[in-house]
Amino acid sequence: MATIAASHAQVQAHAFQTACRSRIRTALDRSRTQHRLSSSSSSSISPPGTRQNRASRLTPYTPPTFKPRHVASSPFNAHRTWRQASTSSSTSSSASPGTHRRAITVTSDDGRYNWSELSRGEKAARGTQQTFNFLLVSAGAVATLTVFYLLYTELFAPDSVTIQFNQAVSRIKAHPEARALLGPSSKIKAYGEPTSNKWARARPLAHNSEVDRFGTQHFRMHFNVEGPEGRGVVNVHMTKPRGGDVLEYEVLSLNVPGKQTVFVENREAERGVKGKVGKIFGVQWR
């Protein structure tokens, strides 16, 4: 039985191979026949070997065509398209004369439009803005002038407290009796009223200025001095007569506790001595 089955399978395989070979031969014969017919028809139109025959055998090159990709519509694309359209329309509208423009307000006016192009409300807004700017500039100018005036009167004017303080300190340091009580001039320090501030220059100076009934200006000041030998208080009294230009010393003294007062300037005492010398028996002799 096994031998019969094997022989039967071989017969079927041989029959299948024969059928395949016959189909292949038939296909080859058919293709050869078509090739002969095509070559014979081309040879009847133009003799073989001519330029026209060679050109007909060449296949012309056709470039590939690409189809545009379809973009799916989405809300984002629609919004972008709407923005582009609105931008182009606004640009064209702004470029064309006589179109609608933004209203002028106090905060948005930049001077782009002429006065004749503004409405009544826009003119009021521009006037308000310019008035505010003028007041702001005027306030800044007044503040600047005030600062310069204060700097001049406090630091640079001949009658300023700072200049009188520096001059009095220099006179005290130059006086030999003051140096004997305080110490070397290079180590003498002068400062204003005692405060909790450790910086001597930041301490305020006690001073006042007044004018008497004769028109004479009186300037009084006192400050503290300190040296390696001791410390004391300096008293200053200066006057400037009516029509005068500078202050003159009346009294410049140094008071050290436990020591005799040192007078650097004492015009009041000098005037008193001159008055006593000029009088004899109650009569003033000149």
**pLDDT mean values, one per 10 residues, the chain (286 residues):** 69 80 83 75 51 49 53 50 50 48 82 86 90 94 92 76 92 94 93 72 81 93 93 94 89 94 88 56 50
Residue 137's pLDDT is what? 95
253: Cβ–Cβ under 8 A, 6 or more apart, which residues? 234, 235, 261, 262, 263, 264, 266
User: Measured in whole angstroms, how far is the alpha carbon of residue 271 from the centre of its chain?
Assistant: 64
Q: Are 239 and 250 in contact (CB under 8 A)?
A: yes
Residue 12's pLDDT is what? 78
Residue 232's pLDDT is what? 95
Residue 226's pLDDT is what? 93
What are the extents of the domains in the chain?
113-156, 161-278
Residue 80's pLDDT is what? 54
Residue 95's pLDDT is what? 41
Residue 165's pLDDT is what? 92
Q: What angle do CA 144, 149, 150 make, to 5 degrees?
A: 100
Residue 89's pLDDT is what? 47
The model's pTM: 0.48
